Chain A
Amino acid sequence: MANSDTLEYRNRRTDDAQRLLRLALDNWLYAATILLCIFFAFRAPNFLTVDNVINTLVSSSITGIVTAGFTIVLLTGTIDASTSGITALASVLCAVMFQQWGVPLPLTLLLLMVASILMGLVSSFLIIEGRIYSLIATLGSSGVFLGLSVGLAAGQQIAITKPELQNALFERPLGIPVSIWVLFLCYLLGYVMLNHTRLGAHIYATGSNYSAARLSGIPVKRVIRIALIIAATTTSLAAVLATARANLSLLYGVTIGGVNLADVFTAALLGGISLRGGVGKIERNLVAVLFLSILSNGLQLMGTAPAVWLVIKGLAFVGAVIIDAVRQRL
């Protein structure tokens, strides 16, 4: 009797230890981000200033917004690699409509929204009707979008000299730049959608078990289509921000305020999104984007040589990946 009691006690204690370890590993990204902030607060001059906090958020806004949509697509078990094509086309469309045709800004944004829906539909058609593996299908559609953007822009970058677009970007409601509002709004909407709506539940279900979701009456094809449209919309939004900031249309082969697919991939994977779908939380991805941004910001403030922080970033990535693997095995 006493024997089994101690056994149970011991069990509970190991359970507690295990639970604690799991808690720590599950939240390692949050912990690492906080530790990183504390470290830089002491070592990097001007790190903990309001200006720097705002600037770090501003510089992560574009990658962050793209990652939000990318995450939602990944959760359905689909990979969207059309980011660069969508960015180029949305940016050129924005510049052509707003600057060259003189379309008013709100209407431009509305038309861009329509264009995003069309772009999402092209990709989803290839994936769903063409039954092509998503990564490959979206690379194909990305190529077509790039071609269209080169044609529309006639090989030229378009300067945006009408002030409304940039004035809108430079607004600071409550002292916080617009791009930060947009960033947080995207994640807030994403969070609510994923956790508190039927669509969100369907997205997770589709990603974790496609055929089971289909059999239980979830319109899986529509879910994937909607996810791709959401991603196209957020990517276009990021492209508009980048275009406004650069005052120039983005152009194929030229990086301006670049949206880098590798960065988006890195953030999503660091945030613990599984490539097979169905697993991951969008808020973790926001933290992952911030983690990467804080890392490079802090290293720059410390005056570290660029080559060194490339290596540090690489090591951080490898380390993050290893920690995540350990976490999943427990």
Chain B
Amino acid sequence: MLRTQPQPLVRPTNTPLPRAVLKFLLNNGLLIALVIEIAIFATASPEIFLSTGNLFTVLRISATTGITVAFYTIALIAGQIDLSTAQVGAVTAVIFAWMFAILEWPLELSFVLAMAFAALLGLINSWLVIRVKIPSLIATLALGTLCYGLAISVIQSNSTTGLIRLNRPPLRDIINTEIVGIPATVILMFAVYTIIYILLNHTRLGAHLYALGGNPQAARLNGIQDKRLVRFALMFTAMSAGFTAIMIAGRGLSAGAATPVGGVLGGPLVAAIFSGVGLSGGSGRIERTLIGVIFLAVLTSGMSILNVSPFARSMIEGLAFVFAILIDSVRQRIETR
């Protein structure tokens, strides 16, 4: 009947049982799918798949895309689609690598300047959206093209291999740090999701983001500062893309123009499909995004462990995708009825 809200007041208590079960299944369809998925892989390869080491592999893969996708969900909730994450990420990582590895500036300085640069790109995106009044999808696509060009220019003037190597000592150690045996990046990812969960559900900022995405006109008429929210969303998406790209480059010891931070069809759509936002904004739950990210990471790791044939692999990926969107579509249809 209605979607679970994070707080428990005034909830209907008289829902009939079968309906409650259906509601539960649909609301938690993704979680159930994740459990089934884990069960299948665990049966097929118990000793490797179920080990702690692989658990961390799955979580590390999740963290790689998860942080950007989390901020992506925020932007989508506010009704903004950012198609420039891959290119913004690439150019940020390349500029970081240039400062850190070529100019040999200190790590902290290079990092802060690179992040400031990413923030600037986010600001340009939001300027195009707010001042020039271009839909975010188009504005970010345009800026993305420009960023890719910048990334290639910086690489080509500093390297002949298409990559800038990043093997100055402190970086790899910092990225591979473990805290009580858990990789720092994994802890960071969970921290990011927790903070965003609180932000979206328990702060005014979150309430305003949902309102802006749900009905921008209404939000404006009720005194919500829409411009500030758009700026916030796009700036943080750009910064998270930059951060993730630096992380990936640091772990891979080199930065290139193809640093994968969810291209046009990657991160944005994962966020859109799994969180349940759709692409028009106003709804969507961050915890679903997290489950979706982990679901995909388990799929990657499981199929790699089982050495699934490429044919089966692309079929399974395609079908899992279609299945996930079908479930979500049924859920939304039942909800709006």
Contact = CB atoms under 8 A, between A and B. Distances in A.
B142 A144 contact: no
A150 B333 CA distance: 34
Nearest to A153: B311
Given A81-B265, A310-B153, A325-B132, A143 B314 contact: yes
A317 B142 contact: yes
B279 A126 contact: no
B333 to A, nearest CB: 6
A318 B138 CA distance: 9
Interface in B278-294: 278-280
Given A136-B273, A136-B279, A151 B311 contact: yes
B264 A322 contact: no
Contact of A266 (B145, B313, B316, B319): B145
Interface string A292-330: 000000000000011110111111011011101110010
Contact of B311 (A155, A275, A317): A155
Contacts of B328: 132
B317 A147 contact: yes
Given A136-B279, A325-B133, A318 B153 contact: no
Interface string A246-279: 0000001000000001100110010000010000
Q: On chain B, which size bracket covers the interface?
A: 35 or more
B279 A135 contact: yes
Q: On chain A, which size bracket covers the interface?
A: 35 or more
B325 A136 contact: yes
Contacts of B280: 133
B1 interface: no
Contacts of A307: 149, 152-153, 156-157
A145 B311 CA distance: 11
Contacts of A140: 318, 321-322, 325
Select the residue from B142, B272, B273, B316 with max chain A CB neighbours within 10 A: B142
B198 interface: no
Contacts of A321: 128, 132, 134, 138-139, 142
A217 interface: no
Given A136-B273, A139-B265, A139-B269, A265 B141 contact: yes
Given A136-B279, A313-B149, A144 B134 contact: no
A146 interface: yes
Interface string B313-337: 1111111011001101100010000
B310 interface: yes
B255 interface: no
Contacts of A196: none
B325 A311 contact: no
Contacts of A322: 128, 132, 134
B310 A150 contact: yes
Contacts of A163: none
A314 B146 contact: yes
Contact of B146 (A143, A150, A311, A325): A311
A141 B318 CA distance: 7
Contact of B314 (A147, A275, A305, A312): A147
A193 interface: no
A308 B138 CA distance: 22
A144 B148 contact: no
Nearest to B137: A275
Interface string B80-113: 0000000000000000000000000000000000
A168 B324 CA distance: 43
Contacts, number: 134
Given A269-B138, A310-B149, A130 B326 contact: yes
B245 interface: no
B147 interface: yes
A110 B135 CA distance: 40
B143 interface: yes
A273 to B, nearest CB: 10
A318 B315 contact: no
B322 A318 contact: no
A148 interface: yes
B190 to A, nearest CB: 27
B212 interface: no
Contacts of A150: 310-311, 314
Contact of A310 (B135, B152, B272): B152
Given A314-B146, A314-B148, A143 B153 contact: no
Nearest to B143: A318
Contacts of B319: 143-144, 147
A198 interface: no
Contacts of A131: 329, 333
B318 A311 contact: no
A146 B138 CA distance: 27
Interface string A120-136: 00000010001111011
Contacts of A318: 128, 142-143, 145-146
Nearest to B145: A314
Contact of B264 (A142, A148, A262, A326): A262
A148 B325 contact: no
Nearest to A126: B322
Contacts of B152: 306-307, 310
Nearest to B314: A147
A137 interface: yes
Select the residue from A155, A265, A311 with max chain B CB neighbours within 10 A: A311
A82 to B, nearest CB: 11
Interface string B121-163: 0000000100011110111011101111110110011000000
Given A147-B317, A313-B149, 11 more contacts: A81-B265, A130-B325, A132-B328, A144-B318, A147-B313, A147-B315, A151-B311, A318-B128, A321-B138, A322-B132, A324-B134
3 A-B pairs with the lowest CB-CB distances in the bound complex, closest first:
A143-B318, A314-B146, A310-B149
24 contacts: A126-B322, A126-B325, A132-B325, A136-B273, A136-B279, A143-B321, A144-B318, A146-B318, A147-B318, A154-B311, A261-B264, A275-B137, A275-B138, A310-B148, A310-B152, A310-B153, A311-B149, A311-B153, A314-B145, A317-B142, A317-B146, A318-B128, A318-B145, A322-B128
